[in-house]
A = this chain, B = another copy of it.
Amino acid sequence: MEQDPGFIAAVEEAKQGAAEGGVPIGACLVSKDGKILGRGHNMRVQKGSATLHFRRAQAEISALENSGRLPASAYEGATMYTTLSPCDMCTGACVLYKIKRVVVGENKSFMGGEQYLQNRGIEVVVLENDECKQLMEKFMREKPDIWNEDIGV
């Protein structure tokens, strides 16, 4: 599953976020027939000030935004690939959009709504991917203030 085009795209997005000096979390939404609907990365730093709050810039929300205006049926049965365990808002968005499966790069840096996704009938796969972990570990080590403000823990 680490070779899925959707996961590769999510990791590329996370790296792009890191290259921009931002939070290195990427996501990619793939339809049930394997088409990439949208991809994106966390835009918190890029869109906001480091000292201000801008949670509405999550990777998964960016991927959904970048999918454009599709009929509801386009999202049903889709897979959301994300490099990091999804926060509560992204979890809710996946439920609302009737995403079938969420593939998580890693959940050691942050554990989000995986249990709730499963409770709502969504399959969750955690890859424990080393590259995703390293991206987050570097970021948390180098920019702890941004991370603490972003995730709010």
The count of chain A contact residues (Cβ–Cβ below 8 Å) is 32
Whether B152 contacts A96 by the Cβ 8 Å rule is yes
Whether A56 contacts B52 by the Cβ 8 Å rule is no
Whether A53 contacts B65 by the Cβ 8 Å rule is no
A57-75: CB near B (< 8 Å → 1, else 0) gives: 0000100110001111011
A91 interface residue (CB < 8 Å to B): yes
A36 interface residue (CB < 8 Å to B): no
| Residues of chain A from 77 to 109 with CB closer than 8 A to chain B in the complex | 87-93, 95-98
Using Cβ atoms and an 8 Å threshold, which residues of chain B touch A123?
none
Instruction: Return 20 A-B CB contacts under 8 Å, by A number.
Output: A51-B71, A53-B69, A53-B70, A53-B71, A53-B74, A55-B96, A55-B97, A56-B61, A56-B64, A71-B149, A88-B95, A89-B92, A89-B93, A89-B96, A91-B92, A92-B93, A92-B95, A92-B113, A96-B152, A116-B116
